[in-house]
Structure 1
C-alpha cells in the first residue's frame, strides 16, 4: 500500500502522519463485503468526465440564495477495506421564499459535472437532514423557510479500488433551481497513526459514525459556535463471546467486562488535562438511570485525561474509573504508557471508554478529527479474525488489541 508517511520526533514513540492520498487498493476487500455500511453511508464511484459535446449550463442571475457550506472539510478515512468521507453540509435559505431540498449530488470538482460521484435522493436527504431552526414546519425537514437552515450529515464510502477525488463539489437540487457549493478538499487533516488505547480482545467500537450515532449527530453550540467534537468518537465497550457486557448484577459496575480495564497512551505527548474524583454511576438498567452527579459541561466527561499530541491535535479519554488516573497536568507520557482504567463516571450509562481526537482540549467546544490505529484484529459476524493496519475501526465488528504487555 503506497502511503507516504512522515515521521517526526524521537526514535521511540514517534508519531506518524498520513498526508498522502489513500485512494489506492487496500487489502481486505473480502472483509469489506462482510462489514455492512454504517447507516446513512452511500457507496460512491469515481464519476466520469462529460462528453465533448455536453451542454454547459448557463449561470443564473441573481444566483440561487441558498448557502452551501462545509465548516470542517473531510479527510479520506480507511476502514475494513473501504475509504470513507465523513462531513456536513450546512444549508441556509437566504432567499425571500421557502425552498425544498429534493436531492444532493456530489461531484468531482476536477472533472466536468456529468456523472456524480454520489447522489442522495429524496429518502436519503430526508434521513441525513437535521433542522437548525425549527420554524413553522418542523415535520418537513427538507423544506427551508425564509432564513431557515439545516445540516446534511454526509458519509461517502469508496471501494478500495476506486480513487477518491482530491476535491468535491455539491449540487443541492431545489424546487426549480440548483444551489452550487464551493469545492472542498478530501485530504484536510494529517492523520495520526495511533497506538492502541486499550488491551485485550472483544472490544466493540460503539457509537462510531452513522446516522444512528449520537456522536456523529452531536452538533452542539458551545461558546457561540456550532461544533461536533464527537464526529469520530468511539465508545469502546467490552463483551463476552455471547455478546453480553456483564456477568452478575447489572447495577454493579464491577460486573462489566470493560470496568477496570487498562487505558493506554496512544502516542507520546503532554497531559493538558487530568481530572479524577468523580464517582461512578450505577449502570443503567430497565429500572432507569440517574447520574451520580448532575450532567453539566463540567461533569459530562467525568474522570478524564487529555493529551496534546502536537500539531493542533488532542487525544481525549473520558468516563475513567475513580482513583485510577495515574498522571497529572504537565506530565509527559509515552506511547503505550498506562494512564488510567475504564470506569463509569460522567455522562456514562455503563462502563466504557469514550475516546476521541479533537482540535482543542475540550470535551464539547472542539471539532472531532479523524484518526487511525497502527494495528489490531477485527472480525465481523462469524468471520475469522483478520489483521488490520493503519485503519479506523467502525461498524458492527469486534476488535482485538492484543494481549497485555508486562511494562503496563
Structure 2
C-alpha cells in the first residue's frame, strides 16, 4: 500500500502544512453538532448539579479511624470521546486492619467546592466487576470472574477499583474528586484527588484508510485497561489507553490461510507518526509470528520482556510524552534513533512480531519511554469517521476512539509533496 495518496482538492496546502507541523493540544469538549454515543460498559454517567442526587450521610471521623487506605497512582486526565468527556483511573484500596472488610459501595464526590456533592456511585453489583484483588495473576485481571469475593478485603489485603466517569459535553467537570467507600457497618473518605483538566495531545491517525477496529481499549475487562504490571519495583499501567488496531472486512480479519500473516488485511499497512517528535528507540529484526488459530499459538521466539513488543518505535513528543508503536513487520522500520519526525511520516508497516497473535498495531501514549515501566495517558485524534455497532457513520473531531465492535475510517494518507514536506 503506497504512502502517497491524493488528497481532496478542497484542502489548501497552507492549512494542511500547519496541521502537520503543529503538535496541537485540545481540552476535552463536545461540539454541539457531534452526536453523543452510548456510555461504554463499566462507566458511570456523572450526575449534574441540578439533578436530584441522594447524598449519603456526611462522613464523621471515628476513633479509631477506619483502617482503609484509598490511593490513586496517577491523577485522572479529562479527554473527549463519543460526544462526552471522560475520566478513567484506578483506586488502590488496602485493608490495614485485623478484620475483613466488606465493600458495599464507592461514592464519587465533586470536591471542587467547599461542600462536596456526590456525582456518581458504584454499587455492590458494579463492584463485583470493577474490583480486582491483589494476590492473583495480574496478567489475567481482565478475565477474572465477577463475584462477591472481589468485594471482600481480608486483613492486609489490597484491591484495585477500575473506575470510569462520563460527563455530558457541556457539563462542568470537577477539578478535584474525593471518594467515600461504604463498608458493611461503616464508611470512610479518601484524600482529595486532583483532576487534570489541561489539554490532551491532538494526533493525526496512526494508520490510513478504513475497516479498522480499536480493539482492547480502556473499557471494562480489557487486558489493556487492567494491565497493571510490576516493573522497576512499581505497579504501573502503561497500557491504560492502549489500542490494538486490527483490520476486518466482511466479518473476518483475513482471507485465505489463517496461518499466513500475508492473508490478514492489517498486515503490511502503513504506520504513520501521529505527531512531531524525536525517535528515542527504533527496534527491528524480530521475526513475524505465525498467527494464532484454533490449533494454538507458538511465538517465533520465546517471549521475554525485551522482545515482548516485537519490532517497535518510541517517539518523544514536544510535550515530553512518548508515542509507542509495537508489533511492526520484520524489516519494515523506516526510522532511526535520534531522527526528527513530522506528523504523517512513515514509521514502518503493521506486522505480527513479539507477543502478537494476529497482525495488528499496538499504539499507546505514555509518560516514559519504556513499554511497561510507564503510565498510560489519554489523547484524541484530530478527525476520523466512526461507526459503532448498531449506529450510523459519523465524523468525529478531537475524540478518543474506542469500542471493540466500532469501525474507524482514517481517510487517505496525506500527500506530503503537495503539503510541501517532501518525502
TM-score under structure 1 length normalisation: 0.89
* Structure 1 residue 96: Cα displacement: 2.5
Q: Deviations over 1:72-102 (max 9, x none)?
A: 1111111111211100000001122221111
Please tell me whether the aligned partners of residues 59 and 187 of structure 2 are also in contact (alpha carbons under 8 angstroms).
Answer: no
In the alignment, structure 1 residue 324 sits paired with structure 2 residue 332: yes
* Structure 1 residue 39: Cα displacement: 2.4
Partner residue, 2:106: 104
Partner residue, 2:149: 140
Question: Which of 214, 217, 227 in structure 1 is aligned with 2:223?
Answer: 214
In the alignment, structure 1 residue 177 sits paired with structure 2 residue 181: no
- Corresponding residue SS for 1:125: helix
Partner residue, 2:61: 59
In the alignment, structure 1 residue 392 sits paired with structure 2 residue 394: no
Please tell me whether the aligned partners of residues 371 and 392 of structure 1 are also in contact (alpha carbons under 8 angstroms).
Answer: yes
Map residues 266-305 of structure 1 onto 2, 5 A cutoff.
266-305=274-313
- Counterpart CA distance in 1 for 2:399 and 2:32 is 10
In the alignment, structure 1 residue 356 sits paired with structure 2 residue 349: no
- Corresponding residue SS for 1:15: coil
In the alignment, structure 1 residue 43 sits paired with structure 2 residue 52: no
* Structure 1 residue 118: Cα displacement: 0.8
Partner residue, 1:28: 34
* Structure 1 residue 115: Cα displacement: 5.1
Distance 1:348 1:189, change over 3 A: farther
* Structure 1 residue 49: Cα displacement: 9.7
In the alignment, structure 1 residue 119 sits paired with structure 2 residue 128: no
Map residues 136-175 of structure 1 onto 2, 5 A cutoff.
140-175=149-184
Please tell me whether the aligned partners of residues 357 and 371 of structure 1 are also in contact (alpha carbons under 8 angstroms).
Answer: yes
Q: Deviations over 1:300-359 (max 9, x none)?
A: 100000000033300000000011000111111111101100000000000000000001
- Counterpart CA distance in 2 for 1:373 and 1:366 is 22
TM-score under structure 2 length normalisation: 0.86
- Counterpart CA distance in 1 for 2:346 and 2:73 is 36
Please tell me whether the aligned partners of residues 344 and 414 of structure 2 are also in contact (alpha carbons under 8 angstroms).
Answer: no
Question: Which of 76, 80, 84 in structure 1 is aligned with 2:82?
Answer: 80
Q: Deviations over 1:258-311 (max 9, x none)?
A: 000000011111000000000000001111111111111101100000000033
In the alignment, structure 1 residue 402 sits paired with structure 2 residue 408: no
Please tell me whether the aligned partners of residues 59 and 189 of structure 2 are also in contact (alpha carbons under 8 angstroms).
Answer: no
Q: Root-mean-square deviation (CA), in Å?
A: 2.3
Q: How many residues align?
A: 387
Partner residue, 2:132: 130
Q: Deviations over 1:206-248 (max 9, x none)?
A: 00111221000111100100000000000001111x2211111
Partner residue, 2:10: none
Return 38-47 or 388-397, whichever deviates more: 38-47
- Corresponding residue SS for 2:262: helix
- Counterpart CA distance in 2 for 1:45 and 1:25 is 20
Please tell me whether the aligned partners of residues 94 and 147 of structure 1 are also in contact (alpha carbons under 8 angstroms).
Answer: yes
* Structure 1 residue 178: Cα displacement: 1.1
Map residues 329-344 of structure 1 onto 2, 5 A cutoff.
329-344=337-352
- Counterpart CA distance in 2 for 1:12 and 1:378 is 22
* Structure 1 residue 184: Cα displacement: 1.5
In the alignment, structure 1 residue 374 sits paired with structure 2 residue 376: no
- Counterpart CA distance in 1 for 2:173 and 2:375 is 23
* Structure 1 residue 45: Cα displacement: 1.3
- Corresponding residue SS for 1:193: strand
- Counterpart CA distance in 1 for 2:205 and 2:19 is 18
- Corresponding residue SS for 2:125: helix
Please tell me whether the aligned partners of residues 20 and 275 of structure 2 are also in contact (alpha carbons under 8 angstroms).
Answer: no
- Counterpart CA distance in 1 for 2:190 and 2:314 is 36
Please tell me whether the aligned partners of residues 50 and 114 of structure 1 are also in contact (alpha carbons under 8 angstroms).
Answer: no
Please tell me whether the aligned partners of residues 29 and 84 of structure 2 are also in contact (alpha carbons under 8 angstroms).
Answer: no
- Corresponding residue SS for 2:126: helix
Identify unmatched segments of 5+ residues in structure 1: 1-9
